[in-house]
């Protein structure tokens, strides 16, 4: 069995138009949303063996917000191909061809990649959250998919959608403009 957890970065700032896209930081709302997701990760024991994170500032800051909720020593690799992964098929190919041995991999990345990967890899079922993923994949959305394979090389079919959650779905204070 293999598990793939997809996490879109938390809400980031567009206030400084002189910053390059890769350098945009999280805003306070984004930090709060990522903390909610971190709490969910811990409560549900969604502990990856390996985290592949985009090099962008907002993804690295999202990782920093959830890190206290992860076991010490969780392996993290900053993977530059995640930043410009397009629709996600490149990341699927990466998982299949990179000799990753870890059973549970988390990718912290961007849209439309995270949403498209979730749609391409999760089984569609009436009550599993697939339709919500189709409608919107907001910032800090987390999806976990379980596959009945024993090696990432065999990734290709659809897996069971185990978790789909957004900060808005979780308890805690709501932001006025929360997605």
**Domains, the chain:** 2-10+25-169 (3.40.50.1240)
DSSP state of 19: S
Pairing verdict, β 50-53 and 75-78: parallel
Query: Tens of pLDDT along 108-141?
Result: 999 999 999 999 999 998 787 899 999 999 999 9
**What is the rounded distance in angstroms from the CA atom of residue 121 to the CA atom of residue 152?**
13
pLDDT digits (tens, 9 = 90+) for 130-169: 999 999 999 999 999 999 999 999 998 899 999 999 999 9
pLDDT digits (tens, 9 = 90+) for 8-62: 999 999 888 888 999 999 999 999 999 999 999 999 999 999 999 999 999 999 9
What would the pLDDT profile of 59-95 be if each residue is shown by its tens digit? 999 999 999 999 999 999 999 999 988 777 888 888 9
pTM of the full predicted structure?
A: 0.94
């Amino acid at each position: 069995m293999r598990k793939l957890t997809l996490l879109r970065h938390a809400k980031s700032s567009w206030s400084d138009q002189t910053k390059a896209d890769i350098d945009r930081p999280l805003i306070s709302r984004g930090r709060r949303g990522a903390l909610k997701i971190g709490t969910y990760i811990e409560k549900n024991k969604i502990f990856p063996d390996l985290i592949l994170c985009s090099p962008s500032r907002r993804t690295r800051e999202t990782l920093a917000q959830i890190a206290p909720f992860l076991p010490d020593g969780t392996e993290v690799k900053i993977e530059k191909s995640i930043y410009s992964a397009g629709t996600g098929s490149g990341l699927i190919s990466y998982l299949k061809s990179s000799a990753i041995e870890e059973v549970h991999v988390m990718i912290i990345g961007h849209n439309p990649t995270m949403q498209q990967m979730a749609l391409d890899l999760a089984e569609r079922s009436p009550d599993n959250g697939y339709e919500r993923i189709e409608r919107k994949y907001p910032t800090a959305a987390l999806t976990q998919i379980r596959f009945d394979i024993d090696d990432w090389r065999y990734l290709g079919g659809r897996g069971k959608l185990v978790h789909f959650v957004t900060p808005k779905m979780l308890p805690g204070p709501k932001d006025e403009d929360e997605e």
